[in-house]
Amino acid sequence: MTSLPLIPVDPDAPGARRASMPPQHLADLDLAGRKALVTGLGEPAFRARQISTHYFGRLVRDPAQMTDLPAASRARLADQLLPRLLNPVRELACDDGATRKALWRLHDGALVESVLMGYPDRVTVCISSQAGCGMACPFCATGQAGLTRNLSTAEIVDQAVYLAGVAASGAVVGSPARLSHVVFMGMGEPLANYNRVVAAIRRLVAPAPEGLGLSQRHITVSTVGLVPAIHRLASEDLSVTLALSLHAPDDELRDELVPVNQRWKVSEVLDAAWAYAARTGRRVSIEYAMIKDVNDQPWRADLLGRLLAGKLAHVNLIPLNPTPGSRWDASPKPVEREFVRRLRDAGVSTTVRDTRGREIDGACGQLAAAEDMGTDPAGNPSA
């Protein structure tokens, strides 16, 4: 049995290392908060709506383009409401331009990434909620590096607003121009940055100009299974989709693959998921990375099927994306097919996730990890 890792569930607790948070940005505040700030600067309150309309309504993030604001006000407002939070390091495209990945350097040098995925009927962005991650899952590239810090609400929202702007420019050929879905499946454990993530969700769903106007159902929060936070999320007046990174149906293996399982066991985390489903009416997505000879045995499929049968759940099998130097590999396709067959025989709805972005390390923190190691995403030393 592995030892219990340090799990910084509450990095804001007294005594926790002070992280270097970025300056405040308009996306940290609701519309009332923006009005209060604007009037405090001696500007008329309507400027809050004006600047919000640029940012959330037209996806304009650069104050220089907000030419309907008088120059003096613009400078003052930009300074207080639109500090630059995300400095682009690189942007990569693959899958014929349908997948684009952005790597950002934050004000303190921390690296995070976001991915835009275009489909015929929708556009999804995958965003990060923390720089690094403290959950230490051994198959995940982000988990290897540990937690640097929580992102601010605006650092989270700005990723989505930026990529919504990329989609609106028509860059994703063959997909709608309007961003429709957001998944918290980038770097970090969203429920370990609870307050900022919930505030970010409120910005994403508030109608413009207060927010981006996305549907709650089109937002997915993916978690390792922080049980108290799942219960708390169920009690918010939000019905976002919950994705639970289960990866094993038994405690012995899950203790290793998702170390937080040493604190909250499979049965507890599933009970929390069913409580969430009951409260919100939303089907829970069960994430399961298929790892060759580790968690892909027929008996584990059967056990998983018994745990999930009759529940408001859908299984998303993810072919493992091996991290550099990993001792693990993806399951062979016939093994994966047998796993799917057994789950479906148990009456559990199951799909296999597409592997978007593999050639640009679009999955699971790998681009930022490659940048940190001084290699390019293909693993070659960078110039």
- Work out whether 193 is an interface residue with ligand SAH (CB under 6 A): no
User: Judged by CB under 6 A, which of 256, 287, 296, 371 binds ligand SAH?
Assistant: 287
State the minimum distance, in angstroms, from the CB of residue 45 to ligand SAH.
38
Closest Cα to residue 212, out of 196, 222, 201?
201
Annotated binding site for S-adenosyl-L-methionine: 188-189, 222, 245-247, 321
Q: Total residues at the site for ligand SAH (CB under 6 A)?
A: 18
- Order of strands across the sheet that contains 181-184: 87-94, 99-105, 111-118, 123-126, 181-184, 219-223, 241-245, 284-290, 313-319, 349-352
**How distant, in Å, are the alpha carbons of 9, 57, 341 from that of 188?**
12, 28, 32
| Active-site residue (options: 43, 126, 210, 364) | 364
- Work out whether 360 is an interface residue with ligand SAH (CB under 6 A): no
Q: Look at residue 365 and give its three-state secondary structure.
A: coil
Q: Choose one: 41-49, 221-229, 259-267, 304-312; the region binding ligand SAH (CB under 6 A).
A: 221-229
Please, which residue, 52 or 222, has the CB nearer to ligand SAH?
222
Burial class (CB in 10 A: 0-12, 13-18, 19+), 265: middle
User: Judged by CB under 6 A, which of 289, 301, 348, 367 binds ligand SAH?
Assistant: 289
Please, which residue, 80 or 321, has the CB nearer to ligand SAH?
321
User: Judged by CB under 6 A, which of 189, 210, 296, 371 binds ligand SAH?
Assistant: 189
State the minimum distance, in angstroms, from the CB of residue 19 to ligand SAH.
18
- Work out whether 112 is an interface residue with ligand SAH (CB under 6 A): no
- Work out whether 140 is an interface residue with ligand SAH (CB under 6 A): yes
Closest Cα to residue 320, out of 296, 342, 285, 290?
290
Q: Choose one: 37-45, 171-179, 274-282, 318-326; the region binding ligand SAH (CB under 6 A).
A: 318-326
Closest Cα to residue 288, out of 235, 335, 327?
335
User: Judged by CB under 6 A, which of 364, 368, 369, 370 binds ligand SAH?
Assistant: 364
Active site residue 113: yes
Count Cβ neighbours within 10 Å for each residue of 215-231 and write b for 16 or more, e otherwise. Answer: ebebbbbbbbbbbebbe
- Work out whether 245 is an interface residue with ligand SAH (CB under 6 A): yes
The residue ranges of DSSP E strands in the chain, in sequence order, are: 87-94, 99-105, 111-118, 123-126, 130-132, 147-150, 181-184, 219-223, 241-245, 284-290, 313-319, 349-352
State the minimum distance, in angstroms, from the CB of residue 159 to ligand SAH.
14
Q: Choose one: 86-94, 100-108, 173-181, 314-322; the region binding ligand SAH (CB under 6 A).
A: 314-322
- Work out whether 241 is an interface residue with ligand SAH (CB under 6 A): no
State the minimum distance, in angstroms, from the CB of residue 364 to ligand SAH.
4
Query: What contacts 13, CB < 8 A, 6 or more positions away?
Result: none
Q: Choose one: 60-68, 160-168, 222-230, 331-339; the region binding ligand SAH (CB under 6 A).
A: 222-230
The answer to whether the CB of 119 falls within 8 A of the CB of 356 is: no
Please, which residue, 53 or 375, has the CB nearer to ligand SAH?
375
Annotated binding site for [4Fe-4S] cluster: 133, 137, 140
User: Judged by CB under 6 A, which of 261, 321, 331, 350 binds ligand SAH?
Assistant: 321
CA dihedral for 101, 91, 136, 156, sign (positive or negative): negative
Cα 107 to the chain's mean position, in Å?
Answer: 20
Q: State how far the Cα of 357 lies from the Cα of 362, in Å rounded to an integer.
A: 4
Strand (E) or helix (H) holding 79: helix 71-81
Q: Choose one: 107-115, 136-144, 209-217, 302-310; the region binding ligand SAH (CB under 6 A).
A: 136-144
| Active-site residue (options: 113, 155, 287, 371) | 113
User: What residues does 286 pair with on adjacent strands?
Assistant: 244, 315
Binding site for ligand SAH (CB under 6 A): 135, 137, 139-140, 185, 189, 222-224, 245, 287, 289, 318, 320-321, 323, 363-364
Please identify every residue annotated as catalytic.
113, 364
